Structure 1
Amino acid sequence: MQQEIAFREGYEQVNGLKMYYQIHGSGDVPLVLVHGGGSTIETTFGNIIPFLAQNRKVIGVDLQAHGRTSDREAGVTFEQDADDVVSLLQNLGIEKADLLGFSNGGSSVMQIAIRHPHMVRKLVAVAACWKREGLIPGFFEFMETASLDKMPMPLQTAFLEVAENKEGLQVMHDKDRDRMRAFTDWPEDKIRSIQAPALIIAGNQDVITIDHAVETAQLIPHAELVILPGIHGACLGEICTARPGSKMPEFTALIIGEFLDK
């Protein structure tokens, strides 16, 4: 019989936001989950949290304008997301954490490791991008014509189910779109500056290229690389790409757990 995993949730005032978080399980150094663009804790990580939280504390966050977290006047940036997550952890009395980010969230956790290295014990970046040519051909052309009606319906539905401000769906979409339209390459020196042990994960049919994942793992001094079968987010069981009955979330959680425990 599977043991029931402890759960609690709450809000913290963070840099002008009312920021939502969840805590699953228990343990010393928490694993902090940072979701992808247009997403929530549940849409990115809902299928893998039960496996991750079996033997560690897992903290999920909804980022600015996403899910249950409020918005601010400014647009969204990876740097601001990093600062917001760190401020939340400090509010919760956490001095150091492991980090797991997916897609945009993978870029955000890399920024945490760059901007706040003292907060990071280990880093897991899934389908993370730090330069434009790391994304598949056509990605930025798509962003130029992106509109809410093209946003995956499971992500829209999930937002509307939990957000206090339903009109915020359009705002969230536009801010995420504009972030990627304005995206510029990060200097390689910033990637090389990441000293935390890192696990770089990508799918073999991902939105980021395998070459980009390889380069990221080569630039980070203490990095390991895993290429898993599947498309963007399939290894996590992300809501838009999860396959019913797939063991991939459990398998991925085992890989992540072994990396964090060694």
Structure 2
Amino acid sequence: MKTLALAGAALLALFSTIAPAMLSAEEAAPLELHHQVYGEGAPLVLLHGALMTIETNWSTSLGELAKANTVIAVELQGHGRTADQVPGLSYQTMADDVAGLLDRLGIEKASVMGYSMGGNVALQLALRHPERVERIVAVSAAASDKGLAPGHKEMVQHLTPDMFAGAPMVAEYQKLSPKPDFAALVEKVKQLELMPFDWTADLTRIKAPVLLVAGDADVVTLSHLAEMHAALGGHANGDVNGPSRSQLLVLSGTSHMGILADPAKAHQVAAAANAFLSAEAK
């Protein structure tokens, strides 16, 4: 049972999919985000998953992405070198934080690539600040908690900070955080994960092209991915209808965690993202 608990905790560390706002944009000014810039080309903002940092999320793919883009790798609220705030986490306020960063950097419009929690933040950025988003690559993101694999929330309910004891991500957090409190961060991620949400209908408002990426054994179900793809302007029978504005890539034999844990998979996703980001607009 201890082994199963540790495995579940490690898996959740890479999850992130859920939650309506806990604070409106009017209640919290955008947080100043730690960020790092690499490469040359059109701007591409990278948004990590829950409990992760720039290094732990993007180390196997950042180099490939920076070959074709000016990569702006971000650490979100309470993660890595970015300060925490008293309120809990919400995708909406984290999206507003990213918009604030674009303001500070003088970037009018950028593409955004996010993994898990970061993928949901990318979708919220497009919903809340559509004029700021060129294209989106959403990896292992969900638009509804109804689209998550059975048993996910049950696993989250039993999550405790002790399950991460000895994990490298804890040492990384303790080293980088300006005011480390890993137990508090775990609790905030847990509450984010347990909140119901459904943005599926809202996706029709996103006009930026979107590439959805997931594993065939991901925490996001294949049926929900198909539903998201349709809402984002994807359609069947391209021979008749032409290429879709939005696209869907499903990696075979791949779990949520496996997308990052396997360097070959991470490289495959980065290459697909570069191709999507550089393609002519439809």
The answer to whether the superposition gives a TM-score over 0.5 is yes
Q: How far has the Cα of 1:55 moved from its partner?
A: 2.3
> Which residue number in structure 2 is paired with residue 175 of structure 1?
188
Q: Is the 8 A contact 2:30 2:96 kept in 1?
A: no
Tell me the equivalent position of 2:25: none
Question: Please, which of 246, 259, 262 is the counterpart of residue 223 of structure 1?
Answer: 246
Determine the structure 1 residue equivalent to 2:265: 248
1:99 maps to what in 2?
112
Task: State whether structure 2 residue 145 is matched by structure 1 residue 132.
Answer: yes
Identical residues among aligned pairs (%): 34
Q: 1:232 aligns with which of 230, 247, 256?
A: 256
The TM-score normalised by the length of structure 2 is 0.81
Please show how residues 34-73 of structure 1 align to structure 2 within 5 Å. Answer: 34-73=47-86
- Which residue number in structure 2 is paired with residue 81 of structure 1? 94
In the alignment, residue 267 of structure 2 is paired with which amino acid? E
Describe the superposition over 1:197-255 as per-residue Cα deviations: whole angstroms up to 9, x where unpaired. Answer: 000000011111111111111110231000013111433x3xxxx13xx4222222111
User: Number of paired residues?
Assistant: 239
Please state whether the residue corresponding to 1:60 is helix, strand or coil: strand
- Picking from 84, 101, 111, the partner of 2:124 is 111
Instruction: Indicate conservation of the 8 Å contact 1:31/1:98, yes or no.
Output: yes
Q: CA RMSD in A?
A: 1.6
Q: Is the 8 A contact 1:16 1:72 kept in 2?
A: no
8 Å contact kept, 1:65–1:171? no
* Letter of the structure 1 residue corresponding to residue 265 of structure 2: M
C-alpha change, 1:100 and 1:62, in structure 2 (3 Å) is same
Q: C-alpha distance in 1, partners of 2:183/2:106?
A: 34
Q: Secondary structure at the match of 1:30?
A: strand
Letter in 2 for 1:213: L
Higher RCO (C-alpha 8 Å, min separation 6): 2
Which amino acid is the alignment partner of residue 156 of structure 1? V
Q: How far does the alpha carbon of each residue in 1:108-155 deviate from its partner, in whole angstroms, 9 at most, with x for none?
A: 100001111100110110010121121111111112221112248232
The one-letter amino acid of 1:228's match is L
TM-score, normalised by the number of residues in structure 1: 0.87
Deviation at 1:50, TM superposition (A): 0.8
Amino acid of the structure 2 residue aligned with 1:89? L
Unpaired stretches in structure 2, ≥5 consecutive residues: 1-27, 234-244
Is it true that 1:165 corresponds to 2:189 in the alignment?
Answer: no
